[in-house]
Amino acid sequence: MSIAISRNNLVKGIDHHVGQMRFFSAISLLLLGVLSYFICQYLLLSPLTKINNKLLSLKCLHKEPQEPLAEQSELDRLNTSVDTLENVLKQQAEREQQLNKARLDAETANKSKAEFIATMSHEIRTPLNVILGALEILEEEPLTQHGQKFTVSAHNAAKILLSQLNDILDYSKLDSGKAILNNTSFSPFQMAQSIIAIFADQAQQKGITLQLNSTLSTNNYVLGDEGKSSQILTNLLGNAIKFTDSGSISINLKSNIYKGKQAITFSVTDTGIGIDNNKIQSILSPFVQSDASFSRRYGGAGMGLAISQALVHLIGGELEITSELHQGSTFSFTLQLEPTSAPLKISDEHTLNNTKHQAATILLVEDSPSNQMIAKAILAKNGFNVATANNGKEAVAALENTSYDLILMDLQMPEMNGFEACTCIRDLHNNKSDIPIIAMTANVSQQDQVQCLSVGMDDFLTKPINKMKMLEVLHHWLGRNHSHKTVS
């Protein structure tokens, strides 16, 4: 048996299969190449393109001339983008340095402002303490009815001035939200009456009718910040009188009960020059008036409404203004206040008749002769024996030779200030080192109060001195000192 194979057919079969293998291999490689392209495009090239485009978008921040992008290759474009990013980062670093410098400058300016405010507060409060003290003493002297009227008016005006000074000096606190509310019992009706009394003569001179319209009685007391409420009404009424040449001005008080509280609306209505509606918001900014010529004609710095706006916000209200040019204006705000009873009033005589400390000896440490005179007069009138020292050094020397029941200590004095004097007294190695020391100063900041306590002072009184507050503090510490000595 024989088998025969055709070589030609075998070769043709092999060539056919090899051709098929080549075809399928080529197709597979082509598909693999296409797949690789799309994978690279999706995973690598597309993100790089997006990054490049974003980098190129930074060119607006880089102001140096650049080569036209159309004439650059993709790698050159990417390189240009990286250079742009580097320049932008450098510019950003420079801006951050500038901002840091501006921040340091602002902090320095704020520190200077704080020091200026503290200095002005002390310098203004010192003479104001003499004014208020002298008027308070005069009110207790036998005067004619005419003289008594002027003394009371001057005393009320001085107290309003003190309230205004407090609010103006605390304007930075209002901006920063650090101002503190003092809730006391007061009568809105009586408060409005006292404010009207301040401006009565001024209104009469201009021929303006000044009146109070109220649905509240004089015995309607609420719990709130009387000082700040009084300051707002004082500013609003002062502005009304300033910008009203004829007609009438009224303070209006309306009350409604809302959620268990008394919603009291305070408003001041005048028949003055009015305000253009387009300028109502601008006048609430500090140092701004609706017309620059007003500052020349009417005077003022344009601070009243700005302070009033800040104070109204602080005590939980909103200042509303309605006005018509040449017809008049109405300024109003509503406060939610808690109804309360009238404050307990204790006369000086009642206080003194119920204390055993009238004959106590007090060392008054004060460098101002006028402030010494006022403080001595008030203390002596209330039965205290008073010795004086002109500075801390004299106070320490006096305490080494004489015994005192209490020391009233000013802070800013020559040779030795109050802080240094208190430290020296607390370091004395005898039974005089625990004598009550009360700061009595025109420095009114929280920092000063903390520093006083840190050096060993027992209490803090601010100038101008409130007589009843001072007597209350004196009796409190004299009583504690007496009890301590008795127990010892």
| Interval 430-485: pLDDT, tens | 777 888 999 988 776 777 788 888 899 999 888 888 888 888 889 888 877 655 44
Phi, psi of 229 (to 5 degrees): -65, -40
| Interval 305-333: pLDDT, tens | 877 888 888 888 888 999 888 889 999 99
Q: What percent of the chain shows pLDDT beyond 70?
A: 77
| Interval 37-54: pLDDT, tens | 788 767 766 676 677 666
Flag whether pLDDT at 254 surpasses 90: yes
Identity of residue 309: Q
Mean pLDDT of the chain: 79
Flag whether pLDDT at 250 surpasses 90: yes
Q: Answer whether 460's CB lies under 8 Å from 439's CB.
A: yes
Q: Which residue has the tokens 């205004």?
A: 164
Flag whether pLDDT at 286 surpasses 90: no
C-alpha 437/C-alpha 384 separation (Å) is 16
The pLDDT of 279-283, averaged and rounded, is 71
Split at pLDDT 50, 70, 90, the class of 10 is confident
Split at pLDDT 50, 70, 90, the class of 179 is low
Split at pLDDT 50, 70, 90, the class of 172 is low
Q: Which residue has the tokens 């001595």?
A: 376
pLDDT at 486: 38
Cα 146 to Cα 135, 149, 152, 269: the distances in Å are 15, 5, 10, 31
| Interval 188-210: pLDDT, tens | 999 999 899 888 888 998 999 99
Global confidence as pTM: 0.53
